[in-house]
Structure 1
Amino acid sequence: MASTPLSLILLTLINLQLLLLLSPQTQAQTPSAPAPSPSGPINVTGILDKNGQYTTLIRLLNETQVGNQIVSQLNSSTEGMSLFAPTDNAFNNLASGALNGLNDQQKVQLVQYHVTPKYYSVSDLLTVSNPVRTQASGATGVWGLNFTGKGNQVNVSTGLVVTQINNLLRQQFPFAVYQVDQVLLPEELFGAKPPASAPAPAKTPSGSPNTKTNSTAGGALAPTGAGGRNLVGWGLALVLGLACMAALS
């Protein structure tokens, strides 16, 4: 029986140790789990490549360097950005030579026309004020897009093309990517060109075309017709007479 008090003491010490381990102060001193590392930069072409039908758009983003511009702006802007991505079929349905007919600067403008310098969710696009400014806007004016729709259906218009947003590839701030089934053609590049001005008509000579005038070396008008011939004859006779009188004198 003498061992009973010793057992009670040991149990008490064990309980105290457990209480200390479970106390809030002890828990606060335990190291917390490491915070998740921030995600890396947004891979624009990676988002498109993952879906497998944007080969032409990826090529244009790389050739024009617009893809790098998007990444750079996303890292420095608080507004975010949105990309409207035409599929390969959309590019294949363009008129023959439509892309090849553009110079390098125009290709940059075409790709930039599919990018807005602000993040828009689907609900934003339904209530946005048109026209929406694109990255192609600048000294040449506002290259804008117009959005209309109802419910979850959103249509985008350029003035030459109207198409529907069919797939949400990414809708997470700061970058939204929406699939469109037609290439968004800006009027500034593909609209009707103004007709070339016609050359000014040649000036007609003044006076009647039937008027016949003869000029002398001094610019005086020479007499014409029968009356003119008579005057010439009298003039010659007078000259001969004066010559004779001078010879006889």
Structure 2
Amino acid sequence: MANYFQSLLLLTIILYTTSMTLAQAPAPAPAGPTNITKILEKAGQFTTLMRLMKNTQLSDQINTQLNNSNQGMTVFAPTDNAFSTLKAGTLNSLSDQQKVQLLQFHVLPIYLTTSQFQTVSNPLRTQAGDSGSQLNITTSGNSVNITTGVVDTPVSNTLYTDGTLAVYQVEKVLLPMSLFGPPSPAPAPGPLKKKKAGSDDDTPTTDDGSASADASGGVVCGGHLHGIYVGVIGIIAAFYL
């Protein structure tokens, strides 16, 4: 009987200790909010992109947008090697606002899976917004290629996808036409136009007000020629009188 009570007491102590241990154990931590910087850190080889995102505060904007709305997002992430192949001084030549625009050009305001690349409608609007900040996506089998009008680059790897955010590795920095396209041509000169009748000078002029030249290369001055004619006629009349 004594052994029975001893065993029962021991069992009671064990159960009590076990219940206390379980009660004190921390609960599993919930999954944290989406963080684009942590995704790039884990993937490696994206130091330059992370620095630019931090300096322009774009990483904070992306995280806030992802965690406070149902809007999906697709990010194309150039590697450090992609930035190193840019012409020397390219990034330093950009203003802070242009750097933001360049980074926003790498972000689509929609979530795209690799299979959706096959059926997407071009051109795609980016977070940069304007008409010079659109890109085109083409596919060939499982290969996906991005064209900006300035550069072409393949999508080489899927870094992250969760149904809301997709991050894809690209091998070149996506350069938008709005920042890196050819300069606009200079406007053509305006057509010639004459001054109104009755003005002091009837010399044809261009839209900028400059006088036009006659065929001999001189400037047509109607008022001066009229004075010469009158003088010659006066001399002839005086000779015959």
Relative to the length of structure 1, the TM-score reads: 0.67
Mark the runs of 5 or more structure 2 residues left unpaired by the alignment: 1-22, 191-205
Would you say the 8 A contact 2:132–2:176 is kept in 1?
no
Does residue 1:109 correspond to 2:115, yes or no? Answer: no
AA aligned to 1:41 is P
Would you say the 8 A contact 1:131–1:146 is kept in 2?
yes
Mark the runs of 5 or more structure 1 residues left unpaired by the alignment: 1-30, 236-249
- What is the aligned partner in structure 2 of residue 126 from structure 1? 118
The 1-side partners of 2:79 and 2:187 are apart by 39
Quick one: which of 49, 65, 90 aligns to 1:73? Answer: 65
The 2-side partners of 1:159 and 1:79 are apart by 27
The 2-side partners of 1:206 and 1:163 are apart by 56
- What is the CA distance between 1:50 and its match in structure 2? 2.3
- What is the CA distance between 1:185 and its match in structure 2? 1.1
AA aligned to 2:211 is K
Quick one: which of 63, 70, 74 aligns to 2:55? Answer: 63
- What is the CA distance between 1:198 and its match in structure 2? 5.2
The 2-side partners of 1:47 and 1:68 are apart by 13
The 2-side partners of 1:130 and 1:113 are apart by 15
- What is the CA distance between 1:233 and its match in structure 2? 7.5
AA aligned to 2:102 is L
Distance 1:214-1:112 versus aligned 2 partners, 3 A rule: same
- What is the aligned partner in structure 2 of residue 229 from structure 1? 235
Distance 1:133-1:36 versus aligned 2 partners, 3 A rule: farther
The 1-side partners of 2:181 and 2:106 are apart by 17
The 2-side partners of 1:41 and 1:150 are apart by 35
Would you say the 8 A contact 1:134–1:142 is kept in 2?
no
Greater Cα shift, 76-85 or 195-204: 195-204
Distance 1:233-1:129 versus aligned 2 partners, 3 A rule: closer
Does residue 1:42 correspond to 2:34, yes or no? Answer: yes
- What is the CA distance between 1:83 and its match in structure 2? 0.7
- What is the aligned partner in structure 2 of residue 10 from structure 1? none
Q: Secondary structure at the match of 1:62?
A: helix
Quick one: which of 144, 160, 163 aligns to 1:170? Answer: 160
- What is the aligned partner in structure 2 of residue 5 from structure 1? none
1:107-144 superposed Cα distances (whole Å, 9 cap, x missing partner): 1111001011111111112222222221111xx33732
The 2-side partners of 1:148 and 1:75 are apart by 30
The 1-side partners of 2:38 and 2:54 are apart by 12
- What is the aligned partner in structure 1 of residue 18 from structure 2? none
AA aligned to 2:134 is G
Q: How does 1:1-249 map to 2 (within 5 A)?
A: 36-137=28-129, 140-141=130-131, 143-197=133-187, 202-204=210-212, 213=225, 215=227, 222-224=230-232, 228-229=234-235, 231=237
- What is the CA distance between 1:179 and its match in structure 2? 0.6
Distance 1:36-1:90 versus aligned 2 partners, 3 A rule: same
Relative to the length of structure 2, the TM-score reads: 0.69
- What is the CA distance between 1:199 and its match in structure 2? 5.1
- What is the CA distance between 1:101 and its match in structure 2? 2.5
- What is the CA distance between 1:150 and its match in structure 2? 3.5
AA aligned to 1:115 is V
Would you say the 8 A contact 1:119–1:175 is kept in 2?
yes
Would you say the 8 A contact 1:133–1:142 is kept in 2?
no
